[in-house]
Chain A
Amino acid sequence: MPEVELPIGPQHPALKEPVSFRVVVDGERIVRLDLDISYNHRGIEKGAEGREFTKALYLIERICGICSHAHATNFAKGIEALMGVEVPRRGQWIRTLVAELERLHSHLLWLGVLAHEIGYNTMFMYTWRDRETIQDLLEEISGNRVNYGMNRLGGVRRDLSAALLARALEGLHRLAERARFYAELIQEEQTLLVRTRGIGRLPRDRAIVLGAVGPTARGSGVDFDVRRDDPYAAYGDVPLQVMTSDASDVFGRLEVRVREIGESIRVAVHVLENLPSGDIAAKAPRTAPKGEYVSRYEAPRGELVHYIRTNGTDKADRVSVRTPTLANWLSVVEAIQGRVIADIPVVVAAIDPCLSCTSRATFVDTGTGDRSAMEWDDLVAYGIRYYRDHERLP
């Protein structure tokens, strides 16, 4: 059978990272995957160089709509380190609370996306409904459902009232029950098991060599979490269990995220029950002395790196951003090799790249030059049909 190139993508305007895959297939089997992420470079790093720290903070928060707090906190703590500003404990703990709520909303969203990709829409409905608990809390705490704007240099912008604290605890206790339900469900539900077990294999050694981070790495047994290993905000003071799985496939990545939902709830509850009193922010100077700092953060998708250089003014000389998704691409490229076309949606979705959505796909037969266009949704439907026929899934 001649090799066929199968381009998927590139973009959907609602997503932060449009990407195009060119998949070379031999029949059903994937020979090679190549990616193109050139569609939407926004020049935020250049923009950040020309703006005062206080303005750059808001720009950097907008790198990502899903993990905006991750970017803003990582940038703020980097600049604070260079300025020598110490954030008051209450401010650190509130940053941590919002960080864990953000992880919860991100993981629940992802769980729904994965369920949708395999045609398990009941679970998609469940997780997105449960996610609303978190979204409502985030809105009450910050005033926003996305781009919370909680950070300022030196601390956070908003405090938590006792009444809000109680409501947040109530919501989290309700969600903890749901988290236990999901943890049981993923071990039993046939649709999930057939579509994730043994698929997208990434052995531990390869995950390390390819630079995988976050649940992608931990799902292959790599015991690395910035929150524990290089703690920031309140993480040095809050009990935290790092979740790993030795499954080393899509199921491993699923298992890690589902267990992290439970753990994030425990961390958030601990923060709410032990929130220190005092100020929420310290006054930060306008300028930072000349220096450099590598700011790291465990975003929902893994280790996020901001390398910041300052030059004594009120603007950064350089803000170099390495997102977890960039670190995880090579793992997708490797994990998809040898699998079938029907597995593309789950293996891609398993690193949670913020793009598992509508994209146009074109099949090109390299022998005849024939083209046929396909939507990402059609590809998902094809995957579901394939497994229905081959594995007798409902």
Chain B
Amino acid sequence: MAERTAGVRVGPRDVAPEVLREISQRWGDALEDLRQTAPRRLVARAPADRVKTVLRTLRDELGCRHLSAISGVDAGSSLDVVYHLAALGGTVLSIRSALPRDRPSIPTITDIFPAANLYEREVHDLLGITFEGHPDPRPLLLYEGWPEGEYPLRKDWKPTAKEGEHARG
């Protein structure tokens, strides 16, 4: 019979605690604030200059070969990049890196996770985070006439109406 915790169903056995234990035993110092937030969900933090090393280690030594997504978030004091890695047994490990608002920049991971290509371009378009060394950093999602330096998912960005257009937040 499946167990339940905090509204999230758990089907098969949740191996996230074991994944967590293994990561903290082997690379405990590489990740900050590693913890389980829900069944099969782990979160951790890593500084921008260490993210790539951490991700490569997790890929090569923990078998996290599938990068589920990269999310960009305007967290107020910082701009966050969150890497969602699929780990053993349906576990998702989300590694967050907080970047300063005045210089939001982080090395690309496309060289170790080619799947990151479009995800990084999307985050750049919407939040203005630069991925240093990205092989193809052209705009991806916003139309060709979109003004440079406008990042719509930043909290201080508000849509403005041109004549004859509706603007709704």
A residues with CB within 8 A of B: 37-39, 41, 43, 45-47, 50, 77, 80-81, 83-87, 92, 208-211, 224, 226, 228-233, 235-237, 291-294, 296, 303, 305, 307, 309, 317-318, 320, 322, 326-327, 329-330
Contact = CB atoms under 8 A, between A and B. Distances in A.
B130 interface: no
B36 interface: no
B150 to A, nearest CB: 12
A71 to B, nearest CB: 14
Nearest to A329: B118
A236 B41 contact: no
Contacts of A50: 169
A92 B7 CA distance: 11
A293 B7 CA distance: 12
Contact of B7 (A81, A230, A236, A320): A81
5 contacts: A37-B140, A38-B143, A45-B153, A46-B153, A318-B74
Given A43-B152, A307-B84, A85 B68 contact: no
B138 to A, nearest CB: 9
Given A50-B169, A330-B114, A303 B9 contact: no
Given A39-B143, A84-B6, A211 B92 contact: no
A83 B74 CA distance: 22
Interface of B: 2, 4, 6-12, 37-38, 40-41, 43, 65-69, 71-74, 82, 84, 86, 89-90, 92, 94, 113-119, 122, 126, 139-144, 152-153, 159, 168-169
A43 B142 CA distance: 10
B41 A41 contact: no
B108 to A, nearest CB: 15
B7 A83 contact: yes
Most B CB within 10 A of own CB, among A209, A296, A320: A320
Contacts of B139: 38
Contacts of A85: 7
A38 B69 contact: no
A212 to B, nearest CB: 8
Contacts of A322: 68-69, 71, 119
Contacts of A47: 168-169
A43 B113 CA distance: 27
B65 A307 contact: no
Contacts of A232: 8-9
B84 A229 contact: no
B26 to A, nearest CB: 23
A382 B80 CA distance: 47
Contacts of A211: 66-67, 113-116
Contacts of A291: 37
B71 A318 contact: yes
A233 B9 contact: yes
Contacts of B65: 208-209
A45 B6 CA distance: 26
A234 to B, nearest CB: 8
A92 B4 CA distance: 13
Given A47-B169, A210-B115, A86 B7 contact: yes
Given A47-B169, A232-B9, A294-B41, A38 B118 contact: no
A37 B73 CA distance: 22
Nearest to B152: A46
Contacts of A237: 2, 11
A41 B89 CA distance: 34
A209 B114 contact: yes
